[in-house]
Amino acid sequence: WVVAGTGRAVEYVAGRRWVLSATGFWQAHSGAAQCYSDLVAEWSGLAAGGDAWDLYSGVGVFAARLAERTGPTGFVHAVESARSAVADGNAALADLPWLDLRADRTERWVRTHRDTPDVVVLDPPRAGAGRDVVTAVTAANPSRVVHIGCDPASFARDVALYAEAGYGLAALRAFDAFPATHHVECVGLLER
């Protein structure tokens, strides 16, 4: 229930403004979105004209950073199941026409999309991406995957699935973004 105000929150990442539903998802730690998006942009390895997928994209914070790197000669596909997040993201990203943020289930979208991206970024829910999504991602043959997970056990399971497909963990960062809990945010760079 909105007791006072509009029920909308304003957040900023990399100079971009998001106005979003106060009941939607945003990182729990105030500096997390900026920190993770900086790392995603760096590890993506994208250059002008590149192509990227951002899966479980939320409002498109990572997709925006990827689109900045590819520029208008590249393309970024971003997929999120929460329609309200997609609406909020599209409002914030209207100046990036080479970024397509759409509402769909990641599990369905990855099975039907056939291009070969340079990089795939995933930030799945706590349960992780799982075999079906990881198999579809690796079948797309990206040169890099940046996988983010807030549960070390499901993250480790997903990393093992990438290893089965020939991807190795090239870099790993862990963030204590949930102080006084057992949760640790892991960000891994996987390469073939």
| Residue 137 contacts residue 110 (beta carbons within 8 Å) | yes
Helix axes 61-70, 32-44, angle to 10 degrees: 30
Give the active site residue among 150, 177, 187, 190.
150
Which long-range CB contacts under 8 A does 20-26 form with residues at least 24 apart? 20/59, 20/85, 20/88, 21/84, 21/88, 24/58, 24/59, 24/82, 24/84, 24/85, 24/88, 25/58, 25/82, 25/85
DSSP designation for 71: G
2: left (phi over 0), alpha (psi -120 to 50) or beta: beta
Active site residue 186: no
Any idea which residues carry the catalytic annotation? 150
